[in-house]
Chains A and B, each alone.
Chain A
Amino acid sequence: MSVAPALELRGIRKRFGATEALRGVSLAVAPGEVHALIGENGAGKSTLMKVLSGAHQPDAGEMALAGQPYRPAGPPDARRRGVAMIYQELTLAPHLSARENILLGLEPARAGWINVAAARAAARDALAQLGHGELDLERPAGAFGIAERQIIEIARALVGRPRVLILDEPTSSLTGADAERLFAVITRLRDQGVSIIYISHFLEECRRLCDRYTVLKDGASVGAGRMAETTPDELVTRMTGREVRDLYPRHARAAGEPLLEVRTLAAGPRLRGADCVVRAGEIFGLAGLIGAGRTELLRAVFGLDPRSAGGVRFGGEEAAARPRGCWAQGAGFLSEDRKEEGLLLSQPLGDNLTLTKLGAFSRAGWIDTGRQTAAAARWIAALRIRCLGPGQPVGQLSGGNQQKVALARLLEHPARILLLDEPTRGIDVGSKAEIYTLIGELAASGKAVVVASSHLPELLGLCDTIGVMCRGSLVAVRPRAQWSEAELLRVATGAAAPSS
């Protein structure tokens, strides 16, 4: 490179107590470049981002911003100097309006009084830069959908005119079409000369979008280069240190008895009608845009939201109205949101694993902790959950291992109808492969599995049958062989007339 890099890192190290989170990271990002930062969970990406944004101070190493030494005192300092960060978990204040969120901390004001007209203009300008000038500025941020909230978040970063923009897993909760809009936004910013560090687990995305990449493994940068000169397999090998040949293993299985029957099911404003049958030994995929009603369908089936019309049958039996009864009938639900709904993060792994059936581990209300611990230890071994033991709080595990605990709960119960909402969200490639294998084995052992996912290759790789939801209705159900990524997207966006 002839020009000075927009951002350059050399030999960054950071230690927390006994753990060395960063053991020598080097990274160079050119002006107007989209740079992919990839690595498994726990590789040190989040720590590196915190160092870049000034939240942590590095123990060793050098950082330079456009050739000048860069050592931010904290996130506001980093923002002032032109390094903006968009976190994976959105950080909007839900009660404040879009405008107030976009200008939070940078309100145009005189003597403490906000100049609303100037604020509105600045917010409008930032949104227009993203090609989303149409957003209602005065609506509370909490009233927007997740994709729009992300746009608001990026607009907030743009107000400070950043030179370097860091995006952490921006598409993990977006559907195909929303992700496309985001890519357009990123390309636009790149063309305006902004350097972008793009962190993602989705390698296809990185390959499409990014010019160059750096791979992190165990806290060190282990490879970098031009995206065009590498292959996804090579990237995975570098990230994991092993070859992942087939992400989606196929298991011999045949569909048997219908275990889950859903008839004209409706619930609330976002689920208008769904009909489907899932058989023993079948993996049924649910595709659709965000807000199309995938999660709502699963929640209504499991009695988490009241059903307003239609019916659900588990193994021919009318489904119970509430989760407790559904568990008793052999259905199990895996939430898309591990932190908010899936797990008791502050509680031990063993309690998390057995929460649905503590009664079975107890006599007259008193828990037999020996048996409970033994059951947890069995699943820790069977699923290779990396932890200190059944007593460790589940919040201390990595995302992939947390997801294994959440899945193990369904297996321990044991559920024969598995309702899995985004089973691989936010976990690394290695853990994904293990979870796909596990789901395949479960289907092969005669369980009925429903997988809702925003990630189309996952559905196409994993499922036997795929149904697409559009605006609250399940509009098309076909065997996998009849679907392609393009066709799924056409039906999901309502571009094609459904024919099922």
Chain B
Amino acid sequence: MNPRLPALLARLGPFLGLLLVTALFALPAETREHFLSYGNLKIVLTQTVIVAIGALGMTLIIVSGGIDLSVGSSIACTSVVGALLLQRGWGPLPVVLAIVGAGAVLGLINGLSIALLRVVPFIITLGTLGVARGGAKWLADNQTVNYESSPINGWMTTADPFGYALPAGVWVAGGLALVMAAVLRRTVFGRHVFALGSNEAAARLCGVETARLKVAIYAVAGATFGAAGVFQLARLRQGDPTVAVGLELDIIAAVIIGGASLSGGVGTVLGSMIGALIMAVLRNGSQQMGWPTYFQEIIIGLVIIVAVFVDRLRQGRASAA
């Protein structure tokens, strides 16, 4: 057997998965016509944006051997902040910067707590999941925050299903993915993230300032969660403190389906993006098939298990040889 074959399969794995789920909905007679239409493609891409942008930061965190459970709450909290500022008449650019900044601050709090208190990320972010959600409700006075129209509202629209222009959110997600992929692969910061996730003790021995690095990772990831918050706001056109409950699980699932390892040191931005698309295709296709939502939840749950199992098979084979 060609020794490169497993490596090739590993790289293509997520793509094959995407092809498979696409075929699942493109072939049946009920959905064949509409599913692969440009209009629907646009809807799928737009529905991927929030999970995809969140998955960028999550990839960084998971590759470093960490986890962040507070993403859904962060997205809700930052989008409420944005809505409040729009209410006060701020322009779109300052609002975007403020939302991203708020996300970075939440991430910074996570990172500092993890590095200084030396408590595992799972626990710290389980705590901030509650703190950020409560904070969002407090800021919003426990109701939705409405504001007069803003250009932000148009960034996720697919109102014109036959137009060719993709909404801004899709372009931003794509652009951010390219940047994050380059950062992970080609910068000192990115290589240190892999080193930290692969073997923290060895990274420390080699002079990597692991505590500082963790703070930076969670802050950068927090900024991407803020960016996801911008598009959450654009989609809802109001600040809702109860939105995105459980979204962290979708985001983590996208990263894991994309081939990252929860034990750190392994993962790619491209894989995570494909993972996010697989989830969106499954959701969109199930809706078109008229399947109930509980059925969608079961399918997505099974896909996660299958994806990780396939990954494990591949790794098992690699280590036996």
Q: How far is the CB of A112 from chain B (nearest CB, A)?
A: 30
A340 to B209, CA, bound (A): 18
Q: Which residue of B lies closest to A338 (CB)?
A: B202
Q: Are A323's CB and B3's CB within 8 A?
A: no
Q: Is A113 interfacial (CB-CB < 8 Å)?
A: no
Q: CB-CB contacts of B167-200 with A at 8 A, as 1s and 0s?
A: 0000000000000000000111101101100110
**Residues of A348-368 contacting chain B, CB below 8 A:** 351, 355-356, 358-359, 362, 365-367
Q: How far is the CB of B120 from chain A (nearest CB, A)?
A: 17
B188's partner among A16, A18, A335, A362 (CB-CB below 8 A) is A362
A323 to B191, CA, bound (A): 18
Q: How far is the CB of B248 from chain A (nearest CB, A)?
A: 25
Q: How far is the CB of B317 from chain A (nearest CB, A)?
A: 8
Q: How far is the CB of B122 from chain A (nearest CB, A)?
A: 19
A362's partner among B3, B187, B201 (CB-CB below 8 A) is B187
Dominant secondary structure of chain A at its interface with chain B: mixed
B163 proximity list for chain A (CB < 8 A): none
A324 proximity list for chain B (CB < 8 A): 207-209
How many residues on B have C-beta within 8 angstroms of the other chain's C-beta atoms? 26
Q: How far is the CB of A482 from chain B (nearest CB, A)?
A: 34
Q: Are A17's CB and B3's CB within 8 A?
A: yes
Q: Are B199's CB and A355's CB within 8 A?
A: no
B192 proximity list for chain A (CB < 8 A): 358
Q: How far is the CB of B59 from chain A (nearest CB, A)?
A: 16
For chain A, which range describes its interface: under 10, 10 to 19, 20 to 34, or 35 or more residues? 20 to 34
Q: How far is the CB of B79 from chain A (nearest CB, A)?
A: 31
A304 proximity list for chain B (CB < 8 A): 204-205
B302 proximity list for chain A (CB < 8 A): none
A134 proximity list for chain B (CB < 8 A): none
Question: Which chain B residues have a beta carbon within 8 Å of chain A's beta carbons?
Answer: 1, 3, 186-189, 191-192, 194-195, 198-199, 201-209, 265-266, 317, 320-321
Q: Is A347 interfacial (CB-CB < 8 Å)?
A: yes
Q: How far is the CB of B47 from chain A (nearest CB, A)?
A: 33
A322 proximity list for chain B (CB < 8 A): 209
Q: Are B203's CB and A344's CB within 8 A?
A: yes
A17's partner among B1, B201, B203, B208 (CB-CB below 8 A) is B1
| A17-B204 contact, Cβ under 8 Å, with A341-B199, A358-B191 | no
A195 to B41, CA, bound (A): 69
Q: Are B195's CB and A335's CB within 8 A?
A: no
Q: Are A365's CB and B189's CB within 8 A?
A: yes
A448 to B135, CA, bound (A): 57
Q: Is A474 interfacial (CB-CB < 8 Å)?
A: no
Q: CB-CB contacts of A318-349 with B at 8 A, as 1s and 0s?
A: 00001110111000010100001111111100
Q: List 5 A-B contacts (CB under 8 A).
A: A16-B320, A324-B207, A341-B205, A355-B191, A355-B195
- Residue among B188, B192, B209 with max Cβ neighbours from chain A (10 Å): B188
